Amino acid sequence: MNGEEKKFIDLDHVCDQILDQDDREMFNEAIRCYYIGSHRAAVILAWSVTADCLERRIGELSSDGDGTAQVAVSLLTPQKGMASFEELLITQAKKCELFDDYEEKCLRFARDIRSKCAHPTGVNPSAETVRNILYICSQTTLCREGYRGMTFIKTLMNAKLSDKHFISDPNRISETCSYYFSKVPKSLWPQFAAVSIDAYKNNKTQIWKDNAIHFIFELLNAAEDSVADKIARKLPAYEAEDRDLFSIFVGLDGRVNRFWDEPTRTTAKSHLLDSLKVGKPDRIVFNSWANLCSIDGLSQSDKELLGEKINIFSGLIAQHSMILDKRREEILVILLDTLRDSAKKTIALRACKDLFSSSLCLDGCPKIDELIKEIVSSDWLDADVQEVLQNIGKWSVALLVSFINMTDDILIDLTVDRPDDMLTLFEAADALLKTSPTLLPTVFEDICIKYASKVTVIEWNREDCETWRNFIGQLDVLKTRYSQHLPKLAAYSLPVLP
């Protein structure tokens, strides 16, 4: 239904949507005037109730401590009863963000028609004009939940968060939540958390909980430390109502050690750990648990869980920058130990697909070299190993460097019946030369030239072998593309293939 069609929807239905009982009765009187053909009276009554509603909402905002509204009240009070009052009312209501620019123009139109109708020689508006004004007054003011104050907060936490369409686009969660809490002065942000506990008691649904978690997360994320402290202090009321939800709230923000004492963090982390042991991991539960692990470290139980489900958690770990930064060494050890365990090697390899392109492997270290040695020494015919190697173009520079440092081991293990295995090595070299050519290990050129020159005779470096032809062909491609970064190879004359 477009804007024009909405103006002609059933007026009785519109009246039922008006929030305030007194406003509803006055607007209903305006509708009755319209139906009997008293168009001037209908416009006057509709505008009167709209102006009263705007003034009341500004007053409510002022009582809530809204600075803009307090200024508005101080300006409006002396003008009460004067001809200039309504113009000032619209101006101040706009400053209080009770409506947008277009709606301001619509309200001015309604006010101007009302002024003409109230004049003794005023016009008698058409039925269409009256319906338009009834639409403007109802949709811009009377049917709309109040913005910015406690009324707005209560309505949001009770009604909006119960709506399964509150977050209509999962990719715009931050924008959706920010749109609502930015309507309220930051000094009132803690009230969202305070009001939420009563809202939860009335709406113990998974939809409400999911929306509340997203909203509180975004609220904390946007709040400076002093305001975030006050928000967090409102959340312990959940502990007696819903231990699962409270545990999520404890770990929701990365500043957990600022908001919560160590016993509370430890208890919450243990509770979240138990939740993660069962079924498919929930992203929100994982993120709260990971924040707590980042601050307080990984307990033995935490490490055992990661070791058992590293393939299930790898995608979540790869996206959690805090745990990758704070617990990098511990996670690398867990991944390496799992990779070395023959009973768990398959799940470790599946985890490598996600983790090898994450910040976990961003910087070189002995554990990175050990991981690569495990991969290189694995059976390259294994489907999971192949999947890891097929993603080599997405690996971090540190992994590529470590892999290329093993050029000799890789080339020695090549066979005549698997000529394409060497392509992985050259794909790694190509990826590194594209992004960080100065980091290419010198051993790559030295070893490749050694085998091209047949200094060391092995099974595949003979002219009738496809593996040999692939090897020389790949060297020629790199030499052509990156001669400026491969001085030794550029000066070397490759064997001529038959």
pLDDT reported for residue 397? 94
Q: What is the pTM for the complete model shown?
A: 0.74
What is the mean predicted confidence (pLDDT) over 33-56?
94
Per-residue pLDDT of 434-474, as tens digits, reads: 999 999 999 999 999 999 998 877 889 888 899 999 999 99
Please give the single-letter amino acid code of residue 374: E
Q: Are 69 and 184 in contact (CB under 8 A)?
A: no
> Is 60 in contact with 151 (CB distance < 8 Å)?
yes
What is the DSSP track for 47-64?
HHHHHHHHHHHHHHHHHT
Which DSSP string do the residues of 79-137 spell out, in sequence order?
Answer: GTTSTTHHHHHHHHHHHTTSS-HHHHHHHHHHHHHHHHHHSTT-----HHHHHHHHHHH
Assign 236 a pLDDT band (cuts: 50, 70, 90). Answer: very high
**Residue 98 clears pLDDT 90, i.e. is over it:** no
**Tokens coding 303:** 């490490």
Closest CA to 110 of 83, 141, 81: 141
The 10s digit of each residue's pLDDT in 317-376 is 999 999 999 999 999 999 999 999 999 999 999 999 999 999 999 888 999 999 999 999
Average pLDDT of span 28-50: 94
pLDDT at 2 over 70: no
The larger pLDDT score, comparing residue 167 to residue 2, is at: 167
Query: Per-residue pLDDT averaged across 204-229, rounded?
Result: 94
